[in-house]
Each structure stands twice: as C-alpha cells, then as structure tokens.
Structure 1
Amino acid sequence: MNLIWRAYQQNSGAIIEDGRVVRYGDAAAELASTRSASTGSATVLCDLSHFGLIYFSGEDAQSFLQGQLSCDVRQIGSTGALYGSYCNPKGRMLASFLIWRDRNGADGGYLMQLPLALLTSVQKRLSMYVLRAKVKLADSSGMLVPMAVAGDDAGSLIQEIMGAIPLAHLDVIHCEKGSVIRLAKNRFELVITPEYAPAVWDGLSKDALPVGGPCWDWLEIKAGIPMITPATQEQFIPQMTNLEAIGGVSFQKGCYPGQEVVSRTQYLGKIKRRMYLANVRLPSSETRVEAGDELFSVDMGDQSSGMVVNAAPSPNGGFDLLAVMQIGSVETGQIRWKSPEGPLLEIMPLPYPVDQQ
C-alpha cells in the first residue's frame, strides 16, 4: 500500500491489518450494507490496495503475454479487460488475475492485477522467460491506487467524479485521474493516480459507505470470480475454477505454459471437479473458513473431495465460499467442511452457466 495513501486511509478511520483495510467501524454493519448494495438499495466503497499490479511495457509486451497466459491478450485492445490465469507446465494455476491496457491507450503497456501476496513470485517467474523479448516488468502497486464501488448508484457517482463510465462488461475508460473498469452492471473498479486518489475517495464517500476488504471478497465470491492465493497455488487447472466461463481461457490461441493439459482436458477429457458457490454455518464464532480448507463427502470417505478457493463472512450468517469439488460428490448433496463429520455445505446457484461435461 502506498505510504501516503495508507496514512490517508488511517486518518479516514480505516483499520489496517497486514496491509489490508479490514473495516472502518462495525464490520457486521458494513457487511449488511454490502448485501444491500448487491440488491441495489445501498452503495459501498472499498479500498483494494491488498491487490498488486505488475506493469508490462515494451514493443513485445503483447506477444510475450500471449505466450504465457491462458487468456487471449490480443482481444484486450485499449478499452477492455480480461480475466485470466498463469499456469505451470502441468496446467495448474499459479495465479488468477484481471489484465487491461494502461491509460496510455494503444501505445501503452499492460497492467496485471493479482493478490499482493503473489506478486513477487509471479513477477520473478515471468521475468525468467523474457529472454531476448523487448518487454519489461515492473511492480506498479505503489504508483496507482485501486478502489471499488458497488451498488445501483455506483455508475452515477463515478460518472460525476470521473466524467464518464464504461458501458459494457469489462470495458475500460481512461481519463486524467485514472481508469475505470466495469466489472458488472453495478460494480466498478477505479485505478487512480495517487495525487487524485484522496479527492476521488472523498467524492465517492459522500454517497457510498466505506467498507473493509472482506466485503469486497464477498461480492467477488457471489459473482463467482475465483482468486488464487498462496494456499491454493498449483491446486487447480483453469476449468476447475470455471475460468473459461468468465472469459479467462482461450482455446483458439497458441501455446502457453500448461496449454496442452488445459486443451486436452477441454476436448478429450472429462472435468471431474468444478467450482461451486456454497454457504456453511460453523459451530463456533471463533473458527473461520479459509482458502485451502479441504472438503469431504460420503462417497469419498476419508479422502478429500474438494478444496475451498475463497471464503468470506456472509451477511446472512456463516461463510459464503467458492470451492472446487467432485461433481459426483456434489450430486450426493452431502459435502462437509474439514472432516467427514464437519458442518454441511449448502450449495447455491452461480450467476453464470457452467458446462458440467
């Protein structure tokens, strides 16, 4: 987190833990407001400085990324964004991300947003494959301030402050103060230059309630957007996390690490595991559901039948989570957290269709 921005957030009442804003006051009240924002009756504002940004520049930036990532970088253009993944040679995801062109338009480089905890290792690994390509990688996390707005009034608030908003899903606009990405009908991310960030935040917070990072986690989970973390690196191929359903995998592009496994799974194999949305109620308020937690089912006995990808406290009680699970085990209706006798998961519908093959 940019040090000046950190001080500004603390002066605004933010409680920061491990470089992340966790709340501004009553966490439960913030989560309730976020639920209202998801249904259109409130608007919330969240700092996203717990995400890092890798900047790719140089005349070979596009071709380099095209040969490394699961998404088709050529489709991004100057006013679009894509979800994607970076895999190891076995097709297992090292990171998931959102990527877009920077504010310099067609002549600009690319910004890859991923959890800050993964930035250093992913940047180092990608740098190993630059070789003679004319591309440079830089950590731009401290040079830009990411924030997000959700709710039916989000678009009008951003329009007033930024002067324009993107009209379509994953469209991007660039202006003097920074960039705006439309993540959904009523969810936007703003990536603001540090000199404008306090004024933009002040303007938005007049009508949008500041909320902690866990609230944004919950919105992303309800949207079915997977985020690979250190606990889940190299656990899943992209299709297991439904990444192709949100445009994060191209089956028409050329080679990239893991491409043979990913394509073979799509065309010749059968995906035995898929990502589901679920809720679980725990017996104690002291326990938490975490990424990497194992799941069990009757049909698999003592063998794990799944793993939590992401989890966040639910405004409706318990934890909402995204988890990769055996399709057959889900059909039994008996998925349990952490042990064969653990709390039972309630499976909920995802907001997009998924091919179960």
Structure 2
Amino acid sequence: MNDWITALEGRHASDTRVEFDTPEPARQAMERTVIVPLVHMAVLDVSGTGADKLLQGQTSAQVELADGDFAPLTSFCTPKGRMLANAQLLRVSEDRYRLILHRELIGSLRDHLRKFAPFYKTELTIRDDLALLGLIGKEAEALGEVGFDLVPPRVWHQAGDGERQILAHPGSQPRLMVCLPQAQASEAFRQLSAQAVPVGNSVWRLHDIQAGLAWLTGAHYDALLPQMINWEALGGVSFKKGCYTGQEVVARAHFRGQVKKRLVRAQLEGEHLPELGASVNDAGGKSHGEVVAAEIDAYGQAEILAVLSTRDDLGPLHVDGQAVKRLKLPYPIERLDPESLAKAV
C-alpha cells in the first residue's frame, strides 16, 4: 500500500483498491465533483541520454510526439504483437520520460525494458515516491488549477513541470489525473476534500469503462493485440513510425483486417461483479470472449469491458449467469492517428 494512503481518514485499502465510507460513491460522481486516490496505477520513469531511442524501439507510440504537451497512449508488445502493458507516455524533462500504467504490470515492464537499457545508457525507476490523484466532475478543472497551480490541458495532453504533472483523460465529465510527490499528496487530498467528495478508485475505474478505456492487468498479460482493446481507435498506435517490437504483427492485423476480437462495453443484468478474465458465453456455454474490466455502476449493476468475437451471430450472451446487454462505445472503431491528436487544437 502507498504510505500516504495510510494517513487518509475513513479509508479501507489494499494494494490496488481503496474505498471510503462515502455512501453511493458512483452516484456522488454523477452529481458532485469527487477526488480519487488512483492506487491501482503506478509510475515508471525511463531516463538517460538514450531513453528516447530505447522507447522508440519498444513502444507503439511515436516517441517524438511526447514533447511535454502531448502525452500519447502507447503499448509494449512481444514479437508476436501481444501486449505486455499499455500506458500513457509523458515527457517530464529533456532526458526523462514517464509511463503511467496499471500497478500489476509495472514490475514486469521494467524487467522487460531492462534487457535493452544498458545499450541505451538508460535507467528504469519505479517511482514509489510519487502519488496519483484523480478529479472527476464539473469543478474538476477549477480545482485542479487552484489546488495545484496548473492550468488543466486538453484530453491526452499534459501540463506541469518535472515535479508535478496534470493530465486530462476522456469521459462524460471532466477527468483529471495529477502526479505529484507522495510527501505532498496527503495535504493536497485533505485540502481538496473540502470541495470534492472523497471516493474510492472503483469510481475512476468505472469512468474508464464508460470511456471504453481498458488498462491491461496481469489477467491479460501477453494475451491481446493492441487492436483487441481498440487501442488504435484511441490513438494508442502509430502506423507512421518505424519498427518496434511487435510492429509487423500489429500492422498486418490492421491493414489486412485480421482482428477477430474487439473491446465492447456492456452492462450485466445482475449485481455480481465478475472476475477479470471471466468468460463471456453463449446460451450453449461456448466462450466468445472474456472480461477485461468490471465495476458496479451508480444503479447497482455491473458494467464491463470485454474482448469479444467480432462475429455478428453470437446470440444472447452471459457472464457468470448474468445476461449481457451491450452498450455504445463513446468513439468509433476506426484508426485514429496520434499524429493528428498531437496537432489538434
């Protein structure tokens, strides 16, 4: 558990979960501005004179686009194109890049990149001394500016300096992620809690689901192509850059239309929260996909993201006996070049 979390009042926490005594937290986020400790996410710094070259050869992002303003999505793959992790890429100084990804995969990604680091005079550091906070709601941008003296940026962009960064994430309401030293986190959380309701990180994860944004966990390590979580539709894959590990397979799947599974958003007709990796079955019990994210929504029902077969004739589906009701994704399933996102105003 992060040390600063232990100082918070009314919290119940584990390594990747934190909840508060706040009633109906998901509904609070619909009606008020909330503040969230993002304990399920973590930070990996890649620093050194060759950090950009190391990342350029390993990541699906065009690294030069990460310029301290645009902060692109990215993924790291095996030679077979299967994802080892997906992340958001920041540049925080001339020779320092920052990756924000799910806590479960930060150690394995560091170990993977360590194999190449000596050739590029690069250091890889898990930043346990940093904290991540989330703000959701109509007043999120105002609180971010007042609380951290940083002007909130556009979605998938960053603002700040080498010590603190603020990022804007997509959603039906404004969403900000703040990265700051742990030594400042408890006081910042206390001050902002006077104007924003403290809620657990399940609320942030629910808003990720509703935004069609899946962060890879250990349940799907080395199992999915980036396109299977719609990563290219979110601008997480550059098809204009040179080679990187897994690039050939990822490009072939795109240009030949060989993606047989896609991320879908759905609601389950029941209150049971499925495990990550739970099978999505048809009436005959045949599996057509599996759950990659799941949370309880403001109405007490489970909302999920699932990687599901692209076939049209699947019929009624269920997860753990709960019927699947498909919901609309907030973006089209088509290629979105990060180069265009970087230039957009």
Distance 2:219 2:39 in 1: 20
Question: Which amino acid in 1 is paired with 2:180?
Answer: I
Say if 2:36 is the partner of 1:57: no
Q: Distance in 2 between matches of 1:297 and 1:257?
A: 35
- Which consecutive unaligned segments of at least 5 residues does structure 2 have? 336-345
Structural mapping, 1:35-54, within 5 Å: 36=30, 41-54=31-44
Structure 1 vs Structure 2 CA RMSD: 1.9
Which stretches in structure 1 are left out of the alignment for 5+ residues? none
After TM superposition, list the pairs within 5 Å mapping 1:271-286 onto structure 2.
271-282=259-270
Q: State the SS of the aligned residue for 2:119.
A: coil
The CA deviation at 1:273 is 1.3
Q: Match for 1:254: what amino acid?
A: G
1:336 aligns with 2:318: yes
Query: Given residue 26 of structure 2, which amino acid in structure 1 is its aligned partner?
Result: L
2:157 counterpart residue number: 171
**Candidates 69, 77, 80, aligned match of 2:70:** 80
The reply to whether residue 345 of structure 1 matches residue 324 of structure 2 is: yes
* Corresponding residue number in structure 1 for 2:26: 31
The verdict on how the C-alpha distance between 1:182 and 1:152 changes in structure 2, with shifts beyond 3 A counting, is same
Corresponding residue for residue 208 of structure 2: 220
Q: 1:196 aligns with which of 184, 198, 211?
A: 184
Count how many residue pairs are aligned between Structure 1 and Structure 2. 333
- Aligned match of 1:236 in 199, 213, 224? 224
Per-residue Cα deviation, 1:259-289 (whole angstroms, up to 9, x for no partner): 111000111233221111000023xx5x421
The 5 A counterparts of 1:120-159 are 120-140=107-127, 142-159=128-145
**TM-score, length-scaled by structure 2:** 0.91
Alpha-carbon separation, structure 1, partners of 2:133 and 2:63: 24
Offset at residue 97 of structure 1 (A) = 1.2
SS at match of 1:350: coil
Distance, in Å, in 2 between the alignment partners of 1:296 and 1:176 is 47
Aligned equivalent of 1:261: 249
What is the CA deviation profile of residues 318-342 of structure 1, one whole-angstrom value per residue up to 9, with x for unaligned ones? 210111111214x54522214xxx3
C-alpha separation between the residues in 2 aligned to 1:48 and 1:237?
26
Give me the whole-angstrom Cα distance separating, in 2, the residues matched to 1:293 and 1:157: 38
Q: Encode CA deviations 1:10-46: one digit per residue, 9 max, x unaligned.
A: xx221112x24431114x5112112x1xxxx310110
Distance 2:75 2:126 in 1: 18
TM-score normalised per structure 1: 0.88
Q: Name the SS for the 1:195 alignment partner.
A: helix
Deviation (angstroms), 1:130: 2.2
Matched, 1:8 2:7: yes
Q: Residue 193 of structure 1: CA displacement? A: 1.5
Q: Identity across aligned pairs (percent)?
A: 29
Counterpart Cα distance in 2 of 1:75 and 1:354: 23
Q: Note closer, same or farther for the CA distance 1:205–1:316 as it changes in structure 2 (3 Å cut).
A: same
